[in-house]
Structure 1
Amino acid sequence: MTILMTAPIEGHCDPEFAAVGEAFEANFRERGERGAAVAVYRDGVKCVDLWGGWADKAQTRLWREDTIICMMSVGKGMAALCLWMLADRGALDMDRPVAHYWPEFAGGGKAAITVRTLITGKAGLLFADAAPDGAGLDWKAMISAYEVQVPEWEPGTDHGYHSFSAGYLFGELVRRIDGRRIERFFDEEVAQPLGASYGYGTRGAPDEQVADVIPNPDSHTFVQTRDPSTKLGRAWRQRPPSDNPYNDAAYREGVMPSSNGHGNARAVARIYAALACGGTLDGVQLVSPDTIEKMRSEAWFGTCAMTDRVFRYGHGFFLNEPNMSPMGPNAGSFGHPGAGGALGFADPENRISFGYSPSFMCAGGGLGERCAALSAAVYV
């Protein structure tokens, strides 16, 4: 285990959340943390904003206040938020067929799939078999492949985490309805209004501001996505080929909404703070309280057809479940994890939000002990 105590922990932690600061320090001392940030909001006010460690594997760059990092699948929750914002405005009906907004989607026997079936992971569109290997940064090629893809099951009869596909499918639906690409819609409607440094790709940030993702050979997701014989490997074969894909310039600069959202704990916690406080933060309304209830409505709780793990899933978001997505004691908390341990969530009953952005991926198939320790400490 790597023990890191030579790089400082900076930021602030309100006394009532001292347990979070203690857990964050313990992560470095006892749990192999290399570089990370954690943030907590309560009642829309930032109470914890800590960062520390190193921003690179070689330990030559400190993690700074403005450091950002790829938070992997956290971006799928942000893409789902964009769809719910359109629904909240009346531009999108969850019970209409996707093909109503995106006619070409009907190919491959998908004409009857509704937006709700898609956003709840029940559409069976786990793969893009017609897209070439490594085509993940070619939006047109990926969308064309999903248009002709045949579902893995009769839509609505099974459920599975749309690990690679969700970002493209949600993103293209946003574009068809609104006219803006997903990265622009999110930036103009969410990130900029809230002053949150999160978005798809690094958005021109200099290299020294971007922390390296450090893969863990014991991460189930990292290993399986690189093995074409697995279901995750079949889904992720369009990821651009690289020995270290998360840190490649093309990956950082492109748009892959399922996996290359870059930001930090502070930004993610701020976005979820709006969702923890009825949908509005500092005068910026994302969605209404009624829409938040729809977003966190349970769609399924059981074995995922993609990963064979037990998930509790809502409408584009993971719901609180101790093993896969630990979000404190409130069963109504919701958010989205990222491979390796990143997490953002909202707890509307307690008006709390949380963000965690690590560099060193955790082992196993969940969020790991570092994230679990931090999220539990919020409620001590």
Structure 2
Amino acid sequence: MSYIPFARKYRPKTFKELIGQEIPATILKNAFLYQKIHHAYIFAGHKGTGKTTTARIFAKVLNCLNPQEGEPCNACPNCQAIEKGTFVDLIEMDAASNRGIDEIRAVKEGASYLPMQGKYKVYIIDEAHMLTKEAFNALLKTIEEPPPSLIFILCTTEFDKILPTIQSRCQKLVFSRASKENIKTYLRRIATQENIEIDEEALDVLSDLADDSMRDAASLLDQASTYGNNKVTIDIVKSMFGPVDKASIRKFLELLIESDTKEAINMLNTINEKGYNVRLFWEGVYKEIKNILKAFATGEAEEEFYKKMLEKPLEVFLYLEDIINQGFSAMYQKDPILALEITVLKASLIKDFVPISELLKEGLDLPTKSAEKKHQMNL
């Protein structure tokens, strides 16, 4: 039997298995249970959050021969055919490569026929925002007045690009980004099923790298477990994806704070020379700055690192946040490493920072309001 990647092997098969998407799952389950099935839906949300997977589950429960309390049985011929991709009444279309009016005309023609195997004919249009304006307009009439056994599900990561006339005729379900804790729960489940040894720090880093996407998380674990022969440690993750762990990011931040320009630039060049994703590393640095500023705002710092950072002037981190954010913009306009080296050079000014509170203690003579007013009167 050919190898099945984790992202496909552990794709949810029921609404209950969906992690972190309780609202759309409940709406669709209740729509089936109480026969409030809409003729057209838009599933909108971040990549890899289960939009197409949920559409398939919904198609299964609609055509299941033995549904169980709003869930597909996954055992009947219809459920099995949908799982295998051989169910003739489930038509999936990738709008990224089939975006023109001719493809939509073919959809309209097919939509005019009754279902052959199941109760409903379901069209899932993935990346729906990629359809041309003409294609959307051609689809409009069919979505507005579809046959009773026809259901459209438009999946998109860019809801705003779908024509308002289409939006108004569809029921919109929003899929939330996968939280870090939900991703970790999902990865632990896969690791248990696959007998993968994974340490907590590696799990933490993979969850950060997944970019709020369950699919990406599964793919990353698949890759790391293959490299480590079913053992995933933080060293394995670092050797694959670069110094994206907290320790490396915090070391770089400390170099910036200490104005150790040479070592900071050397660290960036090493990341670049080894072919690691420098943007990913920079994103980790920015997130850590955000965490430090949050610690300043709340006064809460459980980890020793944050306690150490709170001893430094707030102005240092406000300045760092500004120049690191500028580094993001510059990366897309210039050579990324050159842009980040300039950011590091700007950080060297930190050594000359004097907090405002210190200036006030030393008796800096700041103009008062009365003095300003007197000066204006003299003018």
Question: Normalising to structure 2: TM-score of the pair?
Answer: 0.21
Greater share of residues in helix: 2
More strand by share: 1
Structure showing greater radius of gyration is 2
TM-score by length of 1: 0.21
Higher relative contact order, chain-length normalized (CA < 8 Å, sep 6+): 1
